[in-house]
Homo-oligomer: A and B are copies of this chain.
Amino acid sequence: MKISFQGEPGAYSEQAVFNYFGKDVETVPCESFDVMFDSVISGKSDMALAPIENSLAGSIHQNYDLLLRHHLHIVGEYFLRVRHCLIANHGVKKEEIKKAISHPQALGQCAAYLRNHGIKAEQVYDTAGSVKMLKESGANDVAAIASKRAAELYAMQILEEGIEDNAENYTRFLAVGREAIVPESDAKTSIVFSLKNVPGSLFKAMSVFALRDIDLTKIESRPLQGKPWEYLFYIDFIGSIHNETAQRALDHLGEYAVMLRVLGSYPRFKG
């Protein structure tokens, strides 16, 4: 099975692919989220694993937009605990490190650690790419911040593991494929809809779930292109569209919605 992810080999997303799909899949690195979605559409890969939200940084809105634009189906979810490693060339000691290079988000998530150790931060485009760059440069006063997998892939030294300032650092990924699935039990469903621009419309939309005791786990709004200050709403709820209560809720929502699409029902991830 071929699974697309965004980033270089050794990216956190690639780690997530192996954790979720197993060690035997073939990973397809993609330079952007667009390319990643296209690779599934074109059949270059079977599925993609797209990061949709980080527990510290928030939603990855580009992937919400791409879920809407492409007619793919969400078939699963996975939560990755993000553990940043301080990575250096062999023979380098931690005390020698003056500068750390990584993606801005990783640097931000280790800001207190870097400050406490007097290490300067410098942004590069990618976490795994920073390890590759460091290896090529051979520098002995620079460290990269990336995943354990990136260190292993480039046969580099891990000076310290888990240097993130906040341990509650998780990224939620969605597996997307060309065919919808029917989850067996304990499912989650993701939908997207737009509403008439009238007072109280979102309240009515949410009532279709509340009145049926359906638990919402996420609501996200995105701008409706060409209609300033009107929105698309993305909602995740517990349950499958193959369950009658959820189906009635969606029928009810259809009475208020201008547009409504089910992005997928899929098994809930259990840690």
Contact = CB atoms under 8 A, between A and B. Distances in A.
For A53, A172, A199, the residue with the greatest tally of chain B CB atoms inside 10 Å of its CB is A199
Q: Is the interface of A mostly helix, strand, loop or mixed?
A: mixed
Contact of A203 (B209, B222, B225, B228): B209
A220 B223 contact: no
Given A199-B213, A203-B209, A225 B54 contact: no
A215 interface: yes
B61 A58 contact: yes
Interface in A158-199: 166, 168, 170, 172, 199
Contacts of A210: 200, 203-204
A69 B121 CA distance: 23
Contacts of A170: 228
A270 interface: no
A259 interface: no
A168 B226 contact: yes
Nearest to A57: B223
A55 interface: yes
A230 to B, nearest CB: 9
B229 A216 contact: no
B61 A223 contact: no
Interface string A222-240: 1101111100000000000
A124 interface: no
A247 interface: no
15 contacts: A54-B223, A55-B229, A56-B225, A58-B222, A58-B223, A168-B226, A168-B227, A172-B229, A199-B213, A200-B213, A202-B219, A203-B207, A203-B210, A206-B206, A217-B229
Given A202-B219, A203-B207, A220-B221, 4 more contacts: A55-B229, A203-B206, A206-B206, A219-B219
